[in-house]
Every structure is written in C-alpha cells, then in structure tokens.
Chain A
Amino acid sequence: MSEPLVVLDGVEKRFDDFVAVRRADLTINAGEFVAIMGPSGCGKTTTLRMLAGLEDPSAGTIHIDGKVMNGVPPHERDTPMVWQTLALFPFLNVRENVEFGLKMRGVAAPERGRRAKDWLERMEIGEFAGRNIETLSGGQKQRVALARALVTEPRLLLLDEPLSALDAHLVIRMQSVLTRLQRELGITFVYVTHSQSEAFAMADRIVIMASGEVAQVGGAREIYRNPANRFVAEFVGRNTILTGSVEGARLKTALGSFTMPGQGTQPADGTQANLVIAADRLQIGRGPLEVENTLRATLISEEFVGAFVTLFLEAEDGTEFKVQLQESALGALDLSSGGTFHLGWRGEQAHLMIEDAR
C-alpha cells in the first residue's frame, strides 16, 4: 500500500515568462487519495496535466510506477482523467463513451461491450447505456465520465475539479461515491480542487499549492491545526493571525504580549513569528474571560452557516479576529446592543509559525 506510485522530483513548468509550477517535490503512494488544493493559478491543474502528459515539465522529472514519464505522450500513458467540463463525446451514446478507452487499446467489441456494461451498472447508470449524452442530468453525466475513465482499470486516476459544475446536494452525493469507489478499487486518486470542503472530506493527504509552489503537504487535521506558513493559515479555515517578535516564552505584538504554545526548540528572542488562532478556539464574552490571553474588539459583521456562526471583530489596531461559535451561544452575547467584546484563548491552543520569507 505504501510504495510510491507517483514521484515529482524538482518539477518545474514555465510558459514563456510565467512560472506555473516551481520546483515541486511530491511523492504519492499507491492507493492514496491525494487532493491538490489552492486558489486559481496556483499550478494545481498544470501539475495534473503534467501527470497526464498534456504538458511536459520544463525541468525536473516525473516518475510513475518507477518509470520516467518526461516526454511520454498522453496516449501512451495509463492516466485517465475526469475533466472539469467532463468532455464527454456528444456524438457517441453513453455505452460508446465508456467503451472509448478500450476501443483505443484494441479491445475486441464483445469484450468492450461487456466491460462497459459492468461499469455502467457499477455506477448505477446501466439503464442509460443507449442514451444520448445530452439527455442525461449533471449527476448522470458525472457517472459516465467516471465509468469512461475507470473502464481500463488504471492504477492512477486524475480528477480535475470534477464536481465544480454540480449542485451542492449532488456534490455531497458524489463525494461519497468517489471515496467509496477509491476504497473499493484501491487505486490512487489525484484530485485537484479549489474547494476546501471537498479536499477535507475525501483526501487522505492534501497538497496545498500557492503561486506554483507546494506550500504544505499533510492530513486534513494537520493542515488545519498546524499550517506551515502564512499562506496556508489564511487559505485554510478561518484563522486569526497575529504577527510579532519572540520575547522569552511570549510573543510581543502590536496588540500586546501573548503566551506562545510550547515549542520543540525555543526560538531566539527577536525572531519574527506569527501566532495563528483558529476561529473555533477563540472565546468571546461580554465580561472578562478566564484565560491567559485576552483583548477587546468591536463587532463588524456576522455570518450564519447553519448551526454555526462566524463573528468578525476588529481590534484597536485594525487586526481582524474571526470567532466561530454555536448559534445557540449567541443569546448570551446580546449582539444587537453593540459595543466591545472580550476575546481570549488558551496559550497552547494557538499555533506558532516562525515568519518565513514570504
């Protein structure tokens, strides 16, 4: 299970002056569900296209299954992709779409038909085999696209934001279809998305990319609780970030001096560092709070997401604080009367990030 299937070794991709991917090193193990996540233009799709052979790296090497893949054209690879636009063939019916990959590999017609039928049934769309693509719903097309990609039984499946065109309720459905499929088949999924919820819901490991670089690789929890740098801290979750300089066991910031969580090695005094406090770990109250770090802030706005509420507050120097709490806890706060609130957090629940060059 843990042998490496895909290895990116110093991979770089330049388009004229623009560097899309910069010195990416990444190992993806066989059987893993890896999500590559980042904002538009971060290089995630280019990375995926390089795995499929649609782009050739400008530098570095890509190994798949132990073989160097640089210069291998797409049709000589076994790296089917599920496309953002699905890219189903409108002039072929559902069954013919699914058979396409087998036909290109010279599989005889009866065998093709049998395997396509198996996959259509597995994806629960067997009854649509003879239908025209345009007559299917978004979710059904999605399943055809999956069947078409998986029918050749590859070891690696590439997915490029496959759920971005679906309605929210279908996204949840397809997420469970995808995770179940991946577990059952035991093959490797590389899933590119800009959606944090999709990545966190499905992936074993998440690769965060920013301006062409791999910003962090890790499990959902690790990335959420221990962001490696400012970019990840801002991109993932709802974090409040305080910047200051180390002074003994405390961080001195414009808003005061706060305790730092225990570190393996104590950073030297004067080191620039960031304190990252997740929104669900900030406490809020009308009166003083019983924690070691406190300050006061004014409410700016609130945002409801079902049972949770995120409050946006501003401290005296303009720093934005985000606090997430249960909707039921709002009553005690009496938001409508305005004024200032007390904010606080326990020292060990913050995350310390030594300032990097960015």
Chain B
Amino acid sequence: MTWVLRGYTALLFTFVFAPIFFSMMFSFNSARFPTLPLEGFTTHWYETIFADEDFWRAARNSLIVSVSTGVLATILGFCTAYSDYRYRFRGQGAYLAIILLPPTIPLIVMALAMLAWFSKVGISGQVWTIIIAHTVLTAPFAMAIIRLRLNQIDASMEAAAWNLGASEWRAMREVILPFCRPAILSSLFLTAAVSFDEFTIAWFVSGLNKTLPVHVLEIVQGTIDPQVNAIGTLVFLTSMTLVIAAQLSIFFRLQRSTR
C-alpha cells in the first residue's frame, strides 16, 4: 500500500515538474532545438533576453500588474470577507455566490467579455486595464483565504476590543487586521502570483502593453526560440517564490500559535 502511494506521488510530481525541469535545462543548452543529447552549456539565451527591450518592457508591465493586482484584490477580498463575517443580511448566500463566480467562468469567455466592455467604454489596452481585469479574476481567491481566517476568530474578540475602549475603526486596526495578517500576506502573494502568470485575459485586453506571458506567446508564434525557456524559467521562479511566500506566511503563523 505504502509503495503504491509513494509511486503515485512520485509520478504526480514527475508530471508536474518534469516539463519545467526540461525547460530550465534547455535554457542553458547551446542547441537551437530542444533535443537530447545536450550540446553545451551557455548563458546566451539569458543574455539575449536581458538585452531585449521588449522583454524588459513586458517584465516591468508584469511586475506593475501583479503587485497592483495583489494589493487591490486583497483589499477587495478583505472587505467582502469582513462584511460576510460581521453582518447578517438578506441574500447573504447569493452575495457570496456572486462574489465567488468569476473563477468559474471560462477564461476565454471572460477575456472576450472584458475586451468588448473595455473597448466600449474606451479604456482597452492600458496597463491598468489589465490590473482591473486581474483584480476581478483574483479577488475571489483573496476573499476565500481571508474568510477562512475570519472563520477561526473568537466570536467575541472584536466586541472585546470595543469593550476595552476601541472604536470600530480602532478595533479593525488593532484586532481584526493583526488577526488576519497571515491570511492577508498569503492572499497578497497568491493573487500576485496568479496575476503574474495569467495569459488569456492579459492577451485580450493588454493591447500594446504586453505582460511576460503575452510576450512569450508572441515569440513562440514566430519561431522556436530557446529564449522562451529562459523567460519561462524566470517566470516560474518568480511565481514559485510568491506561492512559497504565501504558504510560509500561513505556516509560520501556525507554528507561532502552537509553540
């Protein structure tokens, strides 16, 4: 039984990480085509992309979009999670369902709808258009993460803060936010990571302000170019760092509270 599970796990990790591993490997291979055996070690592809202005523009756009999306989605997610935690109102179930809806819509449908809408109101093709679109996409994740944390709060904790002389705003700052801190950090990293990777919507609404994934596709459309492996490696490392940071911010919190 144990070896079946072990084998299954090994297989799973292989399927997930083997392509990425090969992509990383080929990014340092001097051959033009990704075939084995490897030819020789090179940093040529990295040099090429670092010298490419388009790459830097795309990287800058991606960074701006992902950081802004992380912050906006987390603020929005926190506000919805808190309103759900704090108040009881008619249609609360529907309210939650609607908030959680965006990730269930096929990306291509959402991307097309957004493009149509943004063009209609005349704001298509800007960096902040991508930010708006990504915020809509990722805010539900932020909400879900923060809501989980708020579910763990002692039902009297906020009232205890008021009772000890904190106004509602003060209690928010001194009790609710510190309590949610690990979830807020986790949400920041995770939504930023999702935004950093997101391709479909970005491709439709970005116009000339390409993000990295859009840039990669445009290279691939032209030729088979090992540059893509180099960019892929960088994107992967960035996303992994963000996701791991998201995990750690929850993990450390748990460790502290069980110490």
Contacts and interface: CB of A to CB of B under 8 A. Distances in A.
18 contacts: A52-B163, A74-B163, A75-B162, A75-B163, A75-B171, A79-B163, A80-B163, A85-B156, A87-B157, A89-B175, A89-B179, A90-B179, A91-B178, A91-B181, A100-B174, A104-B164, A134-B257, A134-B258
A53 B167 CA distance: 12
B166 interface: yes
Contact of A105 (B165, B171, B181, B259): B165
A86 B166 CA distance: 17
Interface string A65-98: 0000000011100011101111101111000000
B179 A80 contact: no
Interface residues of A, number: 29
A104 B256 contact: no
Contact of B164 (A100, A132, A134, A135): A100
B154 interface: yes
A47 interface: no
Interface in A34-62: 52-54
Interface of A: 52-54, 73-75, 79-81, 83-87, 89-92, 100-101, 103-105, 132, 134-135, 148-149, 152
B166 A104 contact: yes
Secondary structure dominating the interface of B:
helix
Contact of B160 (A73, A79, A87, A103): A87
A83 B257 contact: no
Contacts of A89: 157, 160-161, 175, 178-179
A87 B154 contact: yes
A83 B168 CA distance: 19
B155 interface: yes
B28 to A, nearest CB: 45
A105 B257 CA distance: 28
Contacts of B159: 52, 54, 74, 87
B170 interface: yes
A134 B155 contact: no
Contacts, number: 74
A289 B174 CA distance: 69
Interface of B: 154-157, 159-168, 170-171, 174-175, 178-179, 181, 256-259
Nearest to B181: A91
A148 B164 CA distance: 9
A134 B164 CA distance: 21
A54 B163 contact: yes
Given A83-B156, A91-B181, A101 B258 contact: no
Contacts of B161: 89, 100, 104
A152 B155 CA distance: 23
A169 to B, nearest CB: 25
A152 B163 CA distance: 12
A92 B164 CA distance: 15
Interface SS of A by simple majority: loop
A85 B166 contact: no
A154 to B, nearest CB: 10
Given A52-B159, A54-B159, A132-B257, 20 more contacts: A74-B159, A74-B162, A74-B163, A75-B166, A75-B167, A81-B160, A81-B163, A84-B156, A85-B154, A86-B154, A87-B157, A87-B159, A89-B160, A91-B181, A92-B178, A100-B164, A103-B174, A104-B174, A134-B257, A149-B164
A212 B66 CA distance: 55
B243 to A, nearest CB: 24
A135 B259 contact: yes
A148 to B, nearest CB: 7
The 6 A-B pairs with the shortest beta carbon distances in the complex, nearest first, are A104-B165, A87-B160, A101-B164, A87-B156, A74-B162, A91-B178
Contacts of A52: 159, 163
Contacts of B154: 85-87
Contacts of B156: 83-85, 87
B259 A134 contact: yes
B259 to A, nearest CB: 6
Nearest to A89: B175
A41 to B, nearest CB: 17
Contacts of A101: 164-165
B259 A132 contact: yes
A84 B155 CA distance: 10
Nearest to A99: B164
Contact of B165 (A84, A132, A152): A152
A148 B170 CA distance: 17
